[in-house]
Amino acid sequence: MNRTDAPRVGAPDAPAGREPLQMVSTSQATLPDTVRRLMAENHPLFIGLVVEHPTGSPPPHLQYVWMGPEARWLLVDVAMDGAVVPSITPTVFAADWAEREAEDLFGVNFAGHPQLGDFILHDEDWAERLAPMRMRPEPPAHGGGRDPYEPPRIVQAPGRFVMPVGPVFSGAQESVRFLLETVGEEIMHAHVRLFYKYRGLEKLMERQTPNRAVLVAERVNGMQAFAHGLAFAQAVEAVAAAVVPPRARALRTVLAEWERLRSHVGTLAGIVESTGLSVPANLLAAVEERLLQQSARYLGHRYLFGLVALGGLSRDPGDDALHALAEAGVEAVAAVQAVCHRLTFDNSFLDRLEAVGILPPPRAATLGLVGPVGRASGAPADVRCWHPYAAYDQHPVTPVIESEGDGYARFRVFRREVAASVDLIQRCAASLPAGPVQTPVPVVPGVGLAAVEAPSGALAYWVRIGSAGTVDRCHIMTPAFLNWHGLADAVRDFAFQDFPIIVSTLGLSVADADR
């Protein structure tokens, strides 16, 4: 792999004269110094680590990816010229899990990383050193695991014990396991054990046509299917330098905001439910179901599956449907605001959220939290502003920012973004361009990198199309993967009964992380 393999980025409107992608090549030995220098120059947002591990002669490469404002990407490219790579986690804590993943799935050896081993492939189920994501002709066999999992001991106090919860819960909840270390009432450390649901989707996409892989992308996280489909499509469009027609870009904006609206209403309902106030929780859940019904009525599918297509959209719902959506959005936001307004006067609600689950801005920045969770801790990152895609250049978004970083700040960000999304839907629906909604996307080999602001935050896809016109490599950098990393901090020193409330305010999806 050489310099010509720099990805094309999905930023068609990057300011003229500025190179939107800064690619810094470095050797393994100089990696930590290079990263320290770059981080001191500006403070980009860590997005992910892409491992390119092709069969054949070229050495594998590590590509650390950051994004910044004004459509800038930063890529640090490391050719693996030795057996052990110095970890950058001591400098960039947000890269902690990305490096653990690279070790587990690709067998990359890191030196100086605080904790490696059992992560995505649980030791009970998988043999050691399997590295299944390396390209090889045969899919790796599973089985052969042995040891039951023991989390590393963080708390050293006398009387320390571990309270395990999950992976199966009593309601309709996603599978994940929490191991809460404590000496009594308060959580002293929380181990989040994800990846029970690891589905190997990035491997599954390999050798699929982009037209099929987009269906897999949608189902990485069905609750944010449109965002995933869109990010994947934008990456493939970037490879081919395809220009999506104006109407499709406007409609993509409307649909992305519609999905954010529905997703945020669901998150708000979940937060209220976790505080035990069932009447307002039910009022909000009823709004969510109504939005799902309207999605099916006007757009064909309750979760917007099948709408994104390479080069635009698979069909045009028509102006009438879009105006109806805008109206439905206004209705929904009125209902949500009525409930939320009353909640702001309800002490039994406020007591459970205020000064609970605090992620102070400096800590949120260190953790590299994204999306509404990051914005509730003062982090301004919003892909819609930083890297305007679809029609966000014509309909700019002002990021919704709070600074307290507690559960209530997150609640307020979700609430305000609901209103902002409907506002944007209305603005877009009022000035819909005419024309086609899809353009053909030629199959061109190359690498594309694109990001969208999914309802839960920055979501990026790295897609390499091979000479056969199929996906050679896809890496999905999800907001949940970044934000789950912050859970341990958010719950530290809070009581057990606050745990489900704090988790709900983070609005985390397991499927989003467990690709």
> What sign for the dihedral angle of Cα 5, 392, 245, 225?
positive
Minimum CB separation from another protein for residue 300, in Å?
5
- Binding status of residue 334 toward another protein by CB under 8 A: no
Nearer to another protein, 132 or 446 (CB): 132
In the list another protein, ligand SF4, none, the entry touching 23 (Cβ below 5 to 8 angstroms by class) is: none
CA distance 317 to 6: 37
> Any idea which residue has 């920045």 for tokens?
365
Nearer to another protein, 195 or 494 (CB): 195
CA distance 72 to 20: 5
Minimum CB separation from ligand SF4 for residue 480, in Å?
16
Contacts for 270 with CB less than 8 Å, ≥ 6 apart: 504, 507
Minimum CB separation from another protein for residue 105, in Å?
10
Say if CB 460 and CB 44 are below 8 A apart.
Answer: no
Nearer to another protein, 155 or 292 (CB): 292
Helix (H, G, I), strand (E, B) or coil at 185: coil
> Binding string, 342-361, against another protein, x = CB under 8 A?
x---x---------------
Residues forming a β-bridge with 84? 109
Reported in sequence order, the residue ranges of 80-195 that DSSP labels E, i.e. its strands, are 84-86, 109-111, 161-165, 177-182, 187-193
Which one of the spans 19-27, 46-54, 284-292, 381-389 is the region binding another protein (CB under 8 A)? 284-292
Say if CB 67 and CB 73 are below 8 A apart.
Answer: yes
- Binding status of residue 280 toward another protein by CB under 8 A: yes
Minimum CB separation from ligand SF4 for residue 105, in Å?
22
Interface pick for another protein out of 172, 347, 434, 467 (rule CB under 8 A) = 172
Interface pick for another protein out of 84, 157, 241, 296 (rule CB under 8 A) = 296
Minimum CB separation from another protein for residue 476, in Å?
13
Site residues (CB under 8 A) for another protein, limited to 431-460 = none
Interface pick for another protein out of 203, 247, 412, 464 (rule CB under 8 A) = 203
In the list ligand SF4, another protein, none, the entry touching 140 (Cβ below 5 to 8 angstroms by class) is: another protein
- Binding status of residue 330 toward another protein by CB under 8 A: no
- Half-sphere exposure of residue 140: CA atoms within 13 angstroms, side-chain side: 20
Site residues (CB under 8 A) for another protein, limited to 212-271 = 212, 215-216, 219-225, 266
The greatest distance separating any two alpha carbons of the chain, rounded to the nearest whole angstrom, comes to 70
- Interacting residues toward ligand SF4 by CB under 6 A: 219, 222
- Binding status of residue 204 toward another protein by CB under 8 A: yes
Residues forming a β-bridge with 182? 161, 187
Nearer to another protein, 175 or 394 (CB): 175
CA distance 272 to 504: 9
If phi > 0 it is left, if psi is from -120 to 50 it is alpha, else beta; for residue 276 that is: left
Count of positions on this chain that bind another protein (CB under 8 A): 70
Minimum CB separation from ligand SF4 for residue 306, in Å?
7
Interface pick for another protein out of 17, 56, 159, 171 (rule CB under 8 A) = 171
Full strand arrangement of the beta sheet holding 8-9: 8-9, 446-454, 457-465, 471-477
Nearer to another protein, 36 or 315 (CB): 315
Site residues (CB under 8 A) for another protein, limited to 409-428 = none
Minimum CB separation from ligand SF4 for residue 284, in Å?
22
CA distance 113 to 108: 12
In the list another protein, ligand SF4, none, the entry touching 509 (Cβ below 5 to 8 angstroms by class) is: another protein
- Binding status of residue 323 toward another protein by CB under 8 A: no
The amino acid occupying position 404 is: E
Distance of CA 205 to the CA centre of its chain: 18
Minimum CB separation from another protein for residue 473, in Å?
16
Site residues (CB under 8 A) for another protein, limited to 182-201 = 195-201
CA distance 369 to 366: 8
- Binding status of residue 168 toward another protein by CB under 8 A: yes
Nearer to another protein, 57 or 170 (CB): 170
Best CA proximity match to 359, nearest among 257, 210, 482: 482
- Binding status of residue 341 toward another protein by CB under 8 A: no
List Cβ<8 Å contacts ≥24 apart for 65-68: 65/449, 65/460, 65/462, 65/477, 67/381, 67/383, 67/386, 67/387, 67/451, 67/458, 67/460, 68/42, 68/44, 68/386
Binding site for another protein (CB under 8 A): 122, 124-126, 132, 139-142, 167-168, 170-175, 195-201, 203-204, 211-212, 215-216, 219-225, 266, 277, 279-280, 282-283, 285-286, 288-290, 292-297, 300-303, 305-307, 314-315, 342, 346, 509-512, 514
